[in-house]
Every structure is written in C-alpha cells, then in structure tokens.
Amino acid sequence: MVRDGAGNLYGTTYAGAHNFSGTVFKLTSAGTETVLHNFCSETACGDGYAPVASVIRDGSGNLYGTTSIGGAYNGGVAFKLALDGTETVLHSFCSLPNCADGGFPQDSMILDRSTRNLYGTTEFGGSGGLKCDARSSCGVVFEISPNGAETVLHNFDNADGGNPLGSLFKDRAGNLYGTTFFGGKNNNGVVFRLSPDGTETVLHFFGGGSDGKTPRGGVISDNGRLYGTTLGGGDGGGIVFRLNRLRRDRDGRAKNRNSRELGPPTLHRRESPRG
C-alpha cells in the first residue's frame, strides 16, 4: 500500500465488491475503509479487472495502477484514479495484434516525477516471438506519457529474460532495473538494466542453486546496491540477494569496483527453523 501525508493508506483488492472484480480502497488511520473504485463497473470490464499490484501516488494525490486483465482488449489496463474517484484508463493492453504493446501487467508502475512518465512491465506480449509461452510473447518494459501514449521500451525474447512480474527501479541517470521470472541462459530468470537509449544488459542470470531462481518481485536500491528476492533456489525456499555496489564512469554507465558490469550476488538463504 501507499500512504499520504495524513496517514491514510491506499491499496487494491484482487477480487470482491462489484462483480467480484477488485477495488481501489482508502483506509484512514482510524481504520475506516472507503472504496474509491469498483473495477468492472463498465461494460465488458473496460475499466479493468483484477488488480494484482498496489497503487502509487503523485504529489497531487492522484493514484496510478494496473489491472491484470480487463480493459478494451482484455489484456489489462494502466489507470489513473483522481481525488474525486474518477478513473481514467491510460492504456488498454493487447491493443495491437499479438499483444505487441504488452499484455497482463502483474505489478505496480513507477512514476518519474520530473517528466510525469510512468514505467512498468507486462508478463506477456511484445514482439519477441512465442519463445516463452505458446499463448504469447515474453513480455515488455513500457512507458506511458502523461497524455496516455504508450511506448514499448524493450521486448523480451527469453534469451535476455522472459515474463517479468515485478516493478522497476529508475536511477538518476535514467536507467531502469528489474527482474524476469523466467528466461535467461538457465531459464531461471535474470536481473536486467535498461539504459535510456533502450539497450538492455543482463546483470545476472540466476542459476537455480545457491544464487536462487525465479524472482517474483523487482529490485530496490540503496547506496548503489540492488536488492531483491527469489521464490526458488537456496535451501528450497528462495533467497534474498544483493548485487555488488555500483559506481559510475564519466559516461554515467554503471560499473562495480572491478570495472565489470556487476559481480555475483551476495546471498542470504532462508533462516533455518532450528535456529
């Protein structure tokens, strides 16, 4: 969930309420809940259906989020919810043949507060070919401008990752970082960086053993390091990983202390119940 300056919390439910299709809600510090929007309120669920991720909030109090299905083409939507509860569909995914614009987003977007552009990922769709799933392609990284224009920044093709399920992190140089659930040379997922010119670099291919596999979420950054989690690998219950500290050369490119792209992750396995 996300919190405003008054202590109110905002979030989503996957199901429930109108047509059992999910909601956006507000929860006050006193515990009073208000449903701000019921999904599937429009014909054929044109406003979206089944949000998996939470929402983000801009400085004016508008909320932004995604739904995993629904919309004009049933590939999910990116939406804006104003303070008065008015929902605007910014983009309906799968608007292009074979969902070339992406389809079925599974996590939150991020907001660049200087440009007002939104960034996110979709699990399927794109023009990378049917290399991850017989139904669709391997997913995309997308950008949505303030006027709702969507641009695909990267099409995954399985070799460089496939089926991203997590949100993104954007650094000051404009690079986007994230993970994919599958794909890569071991098909256990990757950590990637996408530069402002659209160049994708795989920072780590998960091996499936002690370094983990199938990261479900995105990454966060602290002091130049990237942190994340995986569902599998380690002792069987997944790991928490850290990618080595980054420094920037004169061109703004990220390098580690040894001037390589990124070193192997530092790992933390699931705690043993025996203590």
pLDDT digits (tens, 9 = 90+) for 30-64: 999 999 999 999 989 999 999 999 999 999 999 99
Give the pLDDT confidence of 91-137 residue by residue, as tens digits: 999 999 989 999 999 999 999 999 999 999 999 999 988 888 656 69
Q: Average pLDDT of the chain?
A: 89
pLDDT tens digit sequence for 199-221: 999 999 999 999 999 999 999 99
Instruction: Indicate the pTM of the whole model.
Output: 0.89
Taking the CA atoms of residue 192, residue 195, residue 198 and residue 202 in that order, the dihedral angle to the nearest 10 degrees is: -20
State pLDDT tens for residues 235-260: 999 999 999 755 554 444 444 432 23
Q: What's the CA gap between 166 and 113, in Å, rounded? A: 20
Question: What's the number of CA atoms in the CB half-sphere (13 Å) around residue 162?
Answer: 21
| Residue 69 reports pLDDT greater than 70 | yes
Task: Give the angle subtended at the CA of 44 by the CAs of 41 and 49, to the nearest 5°.
Answer: 60
79's enclosing H/E stretch is strand 77-81
Widest Cα–Cα separation across the chain:
57
| Mean pLDDT, residues 63-91 | 97
